[in-house]
Copies of this chain bind each other. A is one copy, B any other.
Amino acid sequence: MSNAAVAPGKTRVGWIGTGVMGLSMCGHLMTAGYSATVFSRSRERSRPLLERGAKWAASPGAVAAASDVVFCIVGVPGDVREVLLGEEGAIAVARPGTVIVDMTTSEPSLALTISEQARKKGVDALDAPVSGGDVGAREARLSIFVGGDLDVLERVRPLLQLMGKTIGHQGPAGSGQHAKMVNQIVIATGMIGLCEALLYGYKAGLDLEKLLDTLASGAAGSWSLSNYGPRILEGNFDPGFLVEHFIKDMAIALDEARRMRLSLPGLALAHQLYVALQAQGHGRKGTHALMLALARLSEVTWR
């Protein structure tokens, strides 16, 4: 890809991974006029994009062969390794000048490896995990945490701006992933506090709907409290963000922290409580379902 600005009709976009997030995000690029070549584990999952004119590729490498900028948003770090670093992966096939943007929430150390492997082939890589969930993806209001060379970010920024409202450069390769981990650590342990507090208030016989308003306007206020508090009180645990994905993120953060010789007791507790929640059969619920595991601890039946 040349240093000239990206543009529809000129820049060919590739997309690997067309789950709930990828479908919306790639869709925004196509709406803006970009041609797209897509790959996902099953062709069926990409159908909404294929019906709008996206081309199907038989492998991640085939996506890279047909694209100037390759985006990737898949499940777990193992998937990222396979689609980007594998024998038929994107980097093995990409021409020099290609930019690879991994938007999966994944391991910072893997982002470094990807960046190094890409560089050997004259390919640029960014790690650019997102925050904002399926709604953020659908409404193109994601927060995007970017790690890698700033000039590479500037080249693809017009594409990222079609998906997100906040695009923050966090530092060299891996920094985007680290920044996303910081985001998840705040949320994970905060969710324990929110759920325990509501559980306490419930047992104490308080009017929680009313109390929530008072809390929101004071020092206990947070995005989680305002957005998840009412759903917790309704007993509506639809995702949002999936428990099983959150567990993956916390495991990555704990691994990275251990590697940095950093003890994070709050995050470790959150991780264990979410593992319990998953064990109780709630892995496909939203993260605010943590209330169910905390209620179960004390034999409280929640709503």
- Residue ranges of A at the interface with B (Cβ–Cβ < 8 Å): 108, 131-133, 143, 145, 166, 168, 170-171, 174-175, 178-179, 181-183, 185-190, 192-194, 196-201, 203-207, 210-211, 213-215, 217-225, 227, 253, 256-257, 260-267, 269-270, 273, 294, 297-298, 300
Q: CB distance B179 to A225 under 8 Å?
A: no
User: Of the candidates B166, B185, B223, which one forms a contact with A200 in the assembled complex, judged by CB atoms under 8 Å apart?
Assistant: B185
Given contacts A168-B214, A263-B297, contact A253 B206 (CB under 8 A): no
Bound Cα distance A201, B262 (Å)? 11
Chain B residues with Cβ under 8 A from A192's Cβ? 189, 265-266
Bound Cα distance A266, B267 (Å)? 10
Q: CB distance A200 to B219 under 8 Å?
A: no
Separation in Å of the A193 CB from the closest CB of chain B? 3
Q: CB distance A186 to B215 under 8 Å?
A: yes
Number of copies: 2
Chain B residues with Cβ under 8 A from A224's Cβ? 219, 222
Q: CB distance B262 to A179 under 8 Å?
A: no
Chain B residues with Cβ under 8 A from A267's Cβ? 193, 196
Q: CB distance B175 to A185 under 8 Å?
A: no
Bound Cα distance A152, B128 (Å)? 57
Bound Cα distance A211, B218 (Å)? 23
What is the predominant secondary structure among interface residues of chain A facing chain B?
A: helix
Q: CB distance B183 to A197 under 8 Å?
A: yes
Chain B residues with Cβ under 8 A from A207's Cβ? 170-171
Separation in Å of the A148 CB from the closest CB of chain B? 14
User: Of the candidates B145, B220, B222, B266, which one forms a contact with A214 in the assembled complex, judged by CB atoms under 8 Å apart?
Assistant: B145
Q: CB distance A131 to B219 under 8 Å?
A: yes
Bound Cα distance A78, B85 (Å)? 65
User: Of the candidates B185, B196, B203, which one forms a contact with A266 in the assembled complex, judged by CB atoms under 8 Å apart?
Assistant: B196
Counting from the closest, the 8 A-B pairs by CB-CB distance are A189-B193, A222-B222, A192-B266, A185-B197, A178-B204, A186-B220, A168-B214, A182-B201
Chain B residue with minimal CB distance to A260? B203
Chain B residues with Cβ under 8 A from A300's Cβ? 262
Bound Cα distance A217, B187 (Å)? 13
Chain B residues with Cβ under 8 A from A196's Cβ? 185, 189, 264-267
Q: CB distance B265 to A200 under 8 Å?
A: no
User: Of the candidates B187, B260, B262, which one forms a contact with A219 in the assembled complex, judged by CB atoms under 8 Å apart?
Assistant: B187
Q: CB distance B170 to A206 under 8 Å?
A: yes
Q: CB distance A263 to B223 under 8 Å?
A: no
Separation in Å of the A278 CB from the closest CB of chain B? 17
Chain B residues with Cβ under 8 A from A222's Cβ? 186, 190, 221-225
User: Of the candidates B145, B189, B205, B269, which one forms a contact with A190 in the assembled complex, judged by CB atoms under 8 Å apart?
Assistant: B189
